[in-house]
Amino acid sequence: MAEVDLDAVRSHLGHLGQAPGPVEVGAALRGLGLLVSDTVVRETVAALRRDSLGAGVLDPLLQLPGVTDVLVNGPDQVFLDRGAGLEPAAVRFSGEEELRRLAVRLAASVGRRLDDGVPFVDARLPNGVRVHAVLPCVADAGTCLSLRVPNRQRLSLADWAASGSVTGEGAELLTALVACRLAFLVSGGTGSGKTTLLGALLGLVPATERIVIAEDSRELRPAHPHCVRLEARPPNAEGAGAVNLTQLVRQALRMRPDRLVIGEVRGAELADLLSALNTGHEGGCGTVHANSAADVPARLEALAALGGLGRDALHSQLAAALQVLVHVRRLPDGRRWVDELRLVRPDPATGRCRSLPAVRFVPGGGTFRGECHDELNRLVGL
């Protein structure tokens, strides 16, 4: 259906203050001298409602099985990820106006402003989809949308093993890691499965323990009967009311957590997490972006600086707070893969922490046991 027809009908209904129901749309079509039939009315109503509810023309993509991301680079480029990397989608927008209207409406639906004065927004929609939008004044392709679809299933560690994403030995080590209440971080790149794996591991926590989760955007949904989830909040249109992750971590510590979890360590909250792990909160965990497990100490140095924590203080806290790093990556075939486990240990010469290899798993078979393999087994009781 031509966009000009929809615009004319939309304008007509808006002038009369009417909702896009079948009767109202039929009357509007006749008033505009347009063709009226049951099929035209039905298609027009569907198109108008699609443009005013949900994600518009992107809604069918978000409903596809296995979709994790839908990316829009201007009105003529739409991509989706179904677990095998990005692939082009057949969906197109009629023009920049339709795409921008969708972005502004999605932002407004969660009380956020999106215009040339505030040309980008990051928010979570009521259905759990995380949306990031950038307007053309800072993006040369036109309005850009990035939609992250939450997991519709709660994957367990057994599901990871069944899909070939973790070896039997790896699953055994991870299970023992959770049972022994060791503090750990899951590291990896964007889309590698860090949050999904952490959610699966939290499902192994005994039902008698209380989990308190602090997240910038709510993504973790562990299959656990006693779990409290806290979510940060951006400022409103007046710039007030923001609740950041650092504040949430401090509140979480007052909620008697048996396990304190930070969905993603990305800033000043790292100092509060390390402080908590050094004051008797065993079994704490979270995720962190890093290219490899070996790079995590350097990555944490950069994050600690945001919280005013110097290098020496960071490594002193880190040595006492964190025991294990679990690294995940995405294979060329799209599969998530538990790549390796490392121990965090201070260097006797410098006092600064390093991540030392314990065990690395090779896709297709093979396991490399590092210098700390036996120590890791002793820590987890294997």
pLDDT tens across 109-152, in order? 777 888 888 899 888 887 788 899 999 888 888 899 999 888 77
User: Comparing 292 with 19, which gets the higher pLDDT?
Assistant: 292
- Taking the C-alpha atoms of residue 218 and residue 140, their distance in angstroms, rounded to an integer, is 30
The pLDDT assigned to 4 comes to 35
Answer whether residue 7 shows pLDDT above 80.
no
The pLDDT assigned to 357 comes to 94
The pLDDT assigned to 71 comes to 94
Mean pLDDT of 364-378: 90
pLDDT band at residue 52 using 50, 70 and 90 as cut-offs: low
Buried b (16+ CB within 10 A) or exposed e, 1-38: eeeebbebbbebbeeeeeebeeebbbbbbeeeeeebee
The pLDDT assigned to 206 comes to 95
pLDDT band at residue 108 using 50, 70 and 90 as cut-offs: confident
pTM: 0.78
User: Token pair for residue 197?
Assistant: 């794996």
User: Token pair for residue 290?
Assistant: 């890093």
User: Comparing 369 with 269, which gets the higher pLDDT?
Assistant: 369
% of the chain at pLDDT higher than 70 = 88
- Taking the C-alpha atoms of residue 34 and residue 28, their distance in angstroms, rounded to an integer, is 9
Answer whether residue 31 shows pLDDT above 50.
yes
User: Comparing 234 with 319, which gets the higher pLDDT?
Assistant: 319
Buried b (16+ CB within 10 A) or exposed e, 280-291: ebebbbbbbbbe
pLDDT band at residue 18 using 50, 70 and 90 as cut-offs: low
DSSP 58: G
The pLDDT assigned to 57 comes to 84
Answer whether residue 3 shows pLDDT above 50.
no
Residues in contact with 351: Cβ distance below 8 Å, sequence separation at least 6, in sequence order:
312, 315, 316, 319
Mean pLDDT of 339-347: 93
| Residue ranges of E strands in 267-335 | 285-289, 324-330
Q: What is the pLDDT of residues 256-311, one digit of tens each?
A: 999 999 988 888 888 888 888 887 788 899 999 999 899 999 999 988 888 788 88
Q: Which of 282, 293, 381, 279 is nearest to 338 (CA)?
A: 293
**3-state class (DSSP) for residue 328:** strand
Answer whether residue 201 shows pLDDT above 90.
yes
Answer whether residue 6 shows pLDDT above 70.
no
The pLDDT assigned to 209 comes to 95
The pLDDT assigned to 53 comes to 63
The answer to whether residues 131 and 106 touch, using CB atoms and an 8 Å cutoff, is: yes
Q: What is the pLDDT of residues 204-257, one digit of tens each?
A: 999 999 999 998 888 888 999 999 999 888 777 677 788 888 888 889 989 999
Residue type, 233: R
Answer whether residue 34 shows pLDDT above 80.
no
User: Comparing 309 with 10, which gets the higher pLDDT?
Assistant: 309
- Taking the C-alpha atoms of residue 310 and residue 81, their distance in angstroms, rounded to an integer, is 40
What does pLDDT average to over the chain? 85
pLDDT band at residue 44 using 50, 70 and 90 as cut-offs: low
pLDDT band at residue 11 using 50, 70 and 90 as cut-offs: low
